[in-house]
Amino acid sequence: SSGINAEYGGDPYTGSLSNLTELLEYVLNFSSTVSHSDQVRTLHFNAVWNLPGIPPAFRQFVFSSQKYTDRIMNIYSDLHEVQTTISDISLLKKQDLDWLSDEGHGKIQGIGVCLASCQKKLTKKFGSASISEIEEVYEEFRESSSDLEDEIEDVLEKERKYEDQEEMYLLNAGHMTYLARQNWEGYCTASQDHPVPVYLENRGPGQEIRYRHSEVYIRSRDYPGEVMCLGRNYYGVFWKSESYVYPPYCSWTLAHSSDFRKRVLEYGDHFVLSNVNWPSFMMGLDKTGSWVLAVQGDSGDSVTWLLKKS
């Protein structure tokens, strides 16, 4: 330690190695002056494990406290992971997480402020703690990262949630065009620039739209009293007055396009819509991406849809 003492102006230890309390106080006071030096770790390992004559009680005392020091380092690492998550959410807000509202994003940023405060508080307490206090610091901050992660997930869960009759846009994943207005013959079109707001109405009880179980009507406030139907004996999809429809022709079930374990529809999901009366027919688009059709068989992304917040 003489080289570090000389470099940082520390006083050499002149007491007895058998006086454990006095020795530990010296180590703590000394390390507080050189904690920013890379040589401190080397000094620590040499002193604790390699130098002959160190009392076994000293080794055991430092080892038992070292486990808390290591755990505190893990807390720092976990908090850094939370910081990375918050940064990733901000970067993806205009892409994969475009369902995240400005209000929801603001809440995530607020969690980031709490995270920075937690990191500063941990650094301050850890830097000033004596050996006997390190365990208390660990216990105080051990759940910090998981608590912050739970807060983030709570915000994201509420933002992802879709409920019966919530207005949104339907976007086709293959052509990146939206469900749009009907043409003069009454058939549905698709457009990148002029989407029609729609909503799913659960024909059964409950507000959740459940994959493979819920039967839904597709409605729009632009077409009051009408539902989206599949025509008999041809492949057109169109709006029709609910008073004149046979319900199975105009009812649809949903299936997640890749995750068969997913149970409830959320924003960000990719899904297919199958007609209740003709379950082999799915709502899709023609090759131009301009017309909404009933498509039979595996047509990939042309029959895959996403919810977009209106």
For 272-286, what is the mean pLDDT? 93
Q: Which residue has better confidence, 38 or 198? A: 198
Q: Are 252 and 215 contacting, i.e. CB atoms less than 8 angstroms apart?
A: yes
Pick from 5-14, 192-201, 210-219: least confident? 5-14
Cβ within 8 Å of residue 188, ≥6 positions away: 179, 180, 181, 182, 228, 237, 238, 239, 291, 292
Taking the C-alpha atoms of residue 275 and residue 246, their distance in angstroms, rounded to an integer, is 12
Q: Are 168 and 180 contacting, i.e. CB atoms less than 8 angstroms apart?
A: no
Amino acid 129: pLDDT: 84
Taking the C-alpha atoms of residue 111 and residue 109, their distance in angstroms, rounded to an integer, is 5
Amino acid 93: pLDDT: 85
Share of the chain above pLDDT 70, in %: 77
- The answer to whether residue 271 scores a pLDDT higher than 90 is yes
pLDDT in tens, 113-158: 999 999 999 999 988 888 778 889 999 999 999 999 999 999 999 9
Taking the C-alpha atoms of residue 121 and residue 153, their distance in angstroms, rounded to an integer, is 23
What is the rounded end-to-end Cα distance, in angstroms, of the chain?
66
pLDDT in tens, 201-235: 999 888 899 999 999 999 999 999 999 999 766 67
pLDDT in tens, 60-94: 665 666 777 788 889 999 999 999 999 999 998 87
Amino acid 235: pLDDT: 77
Q: Are 100 and 156 contacting, i.e. CB atoms less than 8 angstroms apart?
A: yes
Q: Are 48 and 59 contacting, i.e. CB atoms less than 8 angstroms apart?
A: yes
Q: How many CA atoms lie less than 13 Å away from 184 in the CB half-sphere?
A: 0
Taking the C-alpha atoms of residue 85 and residue 97, their distance in angstroms, rounded to an integer, is 13
Q: Are 279 and 219 contacting, i.e. CB atoms less than 8 angstroms apart?
A: no
Q: What confidence category does residue 7 fall into, taking pLDDT thresholds of 50, 70 and 90?
A: very low
- Other C-beta atoms within 10 Å of 193: how many? 7
pLDDT in tens, 231-263: 766 678 999 999 988 999 999 999 999 898 999
- The answer to whether residue 1 scores a pLDDT higher than 60 is no
Q: Position 165: which residue type?
A: Q
pLDDT in tens, 22-55: 766 766 666 566 555 656 556 555 555 555 666 6
Q: Are 235 and 187 contacting, i.e. CB atoms less than 8 angstroms apart?
A: no
